[in-house]
């Protein structure tokens, strides 16, 4: 089976698995990340076969929805799927590693990405956590987890480890400070950095309006 067929079947697999999911980690999120990853990958000279499959499978079993926050489940599912098509072992290992590596693991945890392909997919995923789309997904996820919109008595936490971040139950507004506003300065590629600027500014404008309304100023 040629690479285009593998990508086409993987796209259908991801859509069937994620369609209708209600936390913001749904098929449409995956589709946007896939499209963005292709765009960034072309400009950055990445291996698009690895980029596309990693993007399509990156949320196939997100750690946030696994018992104990197991971040290896997604990679195992991706491996089982891609082995059906006899994907080259090097590409297969690379894709699985990307799926494990790219997740945000806390404000105080530094990323350790080993390839341009991982950097491309992470940038695409993070762009979808910013701007108007990121705001929408933030509140969709917060609502699905029973989190408050905002509690002024609870301050944001800059989690120092992945385990600490996994246990977070902050309000949705705190999530902006604990993750979303941090992403601009953690983009990996030149293309990603250019695209992140406007989305970051939009979130700042939103928060300014949110707090003005919260305080009854407008």
- The confidence score (pLDDT) of residue 92 equals 96
Residue 56 to residue 30: CA distance in whole angstroms: 6
Angle at 189 between CA 166 and CA 90, to 5 degrees: 75
Report which of residues 174 and 170 the model is more confident about.
174
Note the pLDDT tens digit of each residue in 51-97. 999 999 999 886 565 555 567 888 999 999 999 999 999 999 999 99
**CATH number of the domain bearing residue 121:** 1.10.3210.50
- The confidence score (pLDDT) of residue 63 equals 56
Least confident of 35-39, 59-63, 205-209: 59-63
Domain count, the chain: 1
Give the residue numbers spanning the domain of 18. 3-214
Helices 116-127, 27-44: crossing angle, 10 deg rounding: 130
């Amino acid at each position: 089976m040629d690479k285009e067929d593998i990508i086409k079947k993987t796209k259908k697999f991801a859509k069937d698995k994620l369609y209708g999911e209600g936390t913001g980690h749904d098929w449409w999120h995956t589709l946007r990340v896939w499209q963005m990853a292709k765009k960034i990958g072309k400009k950055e000279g990445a291996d698009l076969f690895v980029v596309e499959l990693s993007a399509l499978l990156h949320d196939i079993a997100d750690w946030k929805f696994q018992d104990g926050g197991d971040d290896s489940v997604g990679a195992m599912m991706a491996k089982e799927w891609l082995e059906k098509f006899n994907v080259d072992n090097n590409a297969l290992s690379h894709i699985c590693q990307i799926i494990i590596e790219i997740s945000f693991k806390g404000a105080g945890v530094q990323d350790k990405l080993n390839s341009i392909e991982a950097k491309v997919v992470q940038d695409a995923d993070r762009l979808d956590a910013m701007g108007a789309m990121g705001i929408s997904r933030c509140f969709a996820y917060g609502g699905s987890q029973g989190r408050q919109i905002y509690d002024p008595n609870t301050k944001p936490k800059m989690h120092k480890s992945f385990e600490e971040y996994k246990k977070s139950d902050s309000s949705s507004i705190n999530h902006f400070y604990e993750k979303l506003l941090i992403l601009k300065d953690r983009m990996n590629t030149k293309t990603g950095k250019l695209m992140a600027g406007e989305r970051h500014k939009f979130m700042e404008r939103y928060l300014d309006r949110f707090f003005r309304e919260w305080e009854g100023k407008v």
